[in-house]
Amino acid sequence: MSLAGLFLISFLVVHLGINLLILFDKSLELFNQAAHFMATNPLIQLFQYVLFFGFILHIILGVVLQLQNWAARPVRYQKKGYSEQSYFSKFMIHTGAIVFIFLIIHFANFFVKAKFGHIDSITYDSGTYENLGLLVVELFRDGAYVIFYVIAILLLGFHLDHGFQSAFQSLGLNHSRYTPFIKGLGTVFSILVTLGFIAIPLVIYFSF
């Protein structure tokens, strides 16, 4: 669970890095070049299956753990629990489930179209690429989609804020000196990733 989660976190960084290229180059050349590289490099093609495995493992383990946890308290309390606890940790299955739904829609919108659909080509000085950037820009011109995307990313941020530091604890990495730092790092990381992903649809919607 923790290892799969940390692996998916590392994937998010790569994904965000490539997406942000859209904002730095309105001609979309940088992004299309990067997308072309990701789609054709054999090592990355191979790694794609590792990534799928990571997602499936994380989701299946998460669901199994949650079912076991619900089963561990068949008779619930009448009075709601008031124990102090880390807030986002209470909703990991809920944020996770919504992010999963987002993932399916996201997959249908981008991955399936890029892999199996027809994408128009665009020619730059550096060469001819499939214009995936245009696909992104066109989707984010739809205000409803932007709102949905932003909400999903916010929930992903909440999921990450607990998940990041929780992964270290589950692996036994707890230390009076480093644990506060890891928690802080996790929060900063979650905020940065959330802001990064949210910035892209907002900038496209309002200025492209």
Residues forming the site for another protein (CB under 8 A): 65, 68-69, 71-86, 89-90, 92, 162, 165-166, 169-176, 179
115 Cβ neighbours under 8 A, 6+ residues apart: none
Report the nearest approach of another protein to the CB of residue 83 (Å). 4
User: How distant is the alpha carbon of residue 107 from its chain centre?
Assistant: 12
Q: How far is the CB of 100 from another protein (least distance, A)?
A: 17
Residue 22 or 167 having the CB closest to another protein:
167
CB nearer to another protein: give 23 or 59. 59
Shortest reach from residue 191's CB to another protein, in Å: 20
CB atoms within 10 A of CB 10: 11
Nearer Cβ to another protein (118/177): 177
Tell me how far, at minimum, the Cβ of 1 lies from another protein, in Å: 9
* Cross-strand pairs, 128: 123
Q: Are 205 and 22 in contact (CB under 8 A)?
A: no
- Using the minimum distance from each CB to another protein, give the nearer residue, 1 or 139: 1
Q: What are the helix (H) ranges across the chain?
A: 2-24, 29-40, 42-71, 92-106, 112-116, 132-139, 143-170, 179-207
